[in-house]
Amino acid sequence: MHLIRVFCSVINMIDIPKTEIKRRWTAVQKAMDDFDALILPLGVNFQYFFGKPGMPSERIILGIIPKSKDPFILAPSFEISNFEAATQIDDIVGWEETESPYKIFEQELNDREIGTNIGVDPKLWIVEYERLSNTSKRHNFTSAGNLIDSIREVKSSWEIEQLSLASQYSSEGILTAFDRFYDGMMEIEAVPILAEELGNLSGNPLSFALVQFGENSALPHGSPSRKKLGSNDVVLLDVGTSVNGYQGDITITLHMGKPNQKFLEVYETVFEANRAAFSKELEGISGGSLDEVARKHIVDAGYGKYFTHRLGHGIGLEVHEKPYLVGTNSSPMKINQTHTIEPGIYLPGEFGVRIEDDVVLQEKGARRLYNTSRHNW
């Protein structure tokens, strides 16, 4: 779970095998029953299918994956060499600053004899959707969100390897950073320490960092503040770094000094809820059922009203993506889906405990993506 990102202006270089990219093209083309082509603006889905990270700007850039032809890219002419180097794709159609990229897009679809039903990445800006629709009169543009999600939800062995490294580096970095914490330091002073330790391991900046001391740990989504660390405080650290764009998301709740009995009781309740969901996760169980398993354990212990969020969320190129482990989700879990399991108990004005693991569902059940121990007492 996270709320804010730090150092997010840095876009990491990624190294993804071309065979992995081609596997994704083949998978989405086989599943493209309702579309003649898929279009993807620069962003996370473009990164998934073409290998280049980045955010959209006022100049439209599109990756186009036809149902039965080779993918190609539409980009400003001065960006062609950049995209050739980053994507290893030679078929890049350029448009000049004095030209309409929307007319060039339409002409390319016509020249390549691509059909009229175009699936659109739902992350495409509405203004770009309107311009494409107004220019391409013969084409029908429909959201392809479900199609994209269905491909991205199930991870390849290469993706699972990247996520395992990201989770391992995130967890190890949290514990190493905690060893450098000291009485009187502020939450915001912990962030650069975490950035250094996680960065030393992953070679990448922090993706996000929640640092919460004492009673601030009772805020499920608390931002680092100027609150100072006490000698007997609970410390909740929800932090992640990335590997080749794939995100780790680990929460470790620690304690300065000797924890009291109430903390140990709450911690054990959360830990047991985490393990209960973990042990029940098998192919076909729904995200809602896993949430119910963990929630029942916390309710039975008398802390139900203090578990205020869903059990977990998918993790991949995005820290939060499908599947969502929430009570309303009746969809069955699939082999090689990756997600968090993160029950929590938050006692206002006292402290909070969250235990968040990154896991992958495999044939024999859930497997934790990292092997770091989390206790410090």
pLDDT digits (tens, 9 = 90+) for 26-75: 999 999 999 999 999 999 999 999 999 999 999 999 999 999 999 999 99
114 pLDDT band, cuts 50/70/90, is very high
pLDDT given at position 6: 40
Per-residue pLDDT for 355 more than 70? yes
0.75 exceeded by pTM: yes
Helices (H), 218-348: 261-280, 287-300
Per-residue model confidence as pLDDT tens digits over 270-299: 999 999 999 999 999 999 999 999 999 999
Tokens representing 325?
């482990």
| Burial group, residue 377, by CB count within 10 angstroms (0-12, 13-18, 19+) | exposed
Give me the mean pLDDT over the 254-263 stretch. 95
- Closest CA relative to residue 184, chosen from 131, 229, 149: 229
| Packing angle, helices 101-111 and 126-135, rounded to 10 | 60
Mean pLDDT, to the nearest integer, of 78-86?
A: 95
Query: What is the number of other CB atoms lying within 10 angstroms of the CB of residue 241?
Result: 31
Strand 246-247 versus strand 351-354 pairing type: unpaired
Mean pLDDT of the chain: 95
Reply yes or no on whether the pLDDT at 16 is more than 80: yes
Percent of the chain past pLDDT 70, that is, above it, reads 96
Q: What is the enclosing helix (H) or strand (E) of 260?
A: none
Give me 291's structure tokens: 């949430």
In a 3-state reduction of DSSP, which class is residue 211? strand
DSSP conformational letter for 149: H
Give the model's pLDDT for residue 212: 98
Q: How confident is the model at residue 167 (pLDDT cuts 50, 70, 90)?
A: very high
What pLDDT, on the 0 to 100 scale, is given for residue 9? Answer: 35
Q: Token pair for residue 43?
A: 């962003």
User: What are the structural domains of the chain?
Assistant: 18-152 (3.40.350.10), 154-368 (3.90.230.10)
Residue 26 backbone dihedrals phi, psi, to 5 degrees? -60, -45
pLDDT at 332: 98
Question: CB count, 10 Å around CB of 247?
Answer: 25
For residue 2, is it left (φ>0), alpha (ψ between -120 and 50) or beta? beta
The set of long-range contacts for 55-61, using a CB threshold of 8 Å and a minimum separation of 24, is 55/11, 56/125, 56/128, 59/101, 60/101, 60/102, 60/128, 60/131
Q: What are the tens digits of pLDDT across the range 176-218?
A: 999 999 999 999 999 999 999 999 999 999 999 999 999 999 9
Lowest mean pLDDT among 13-22, 158-167, 296-305: 13-22
Nearest to 187 by CA among 198, 197, 177: 177
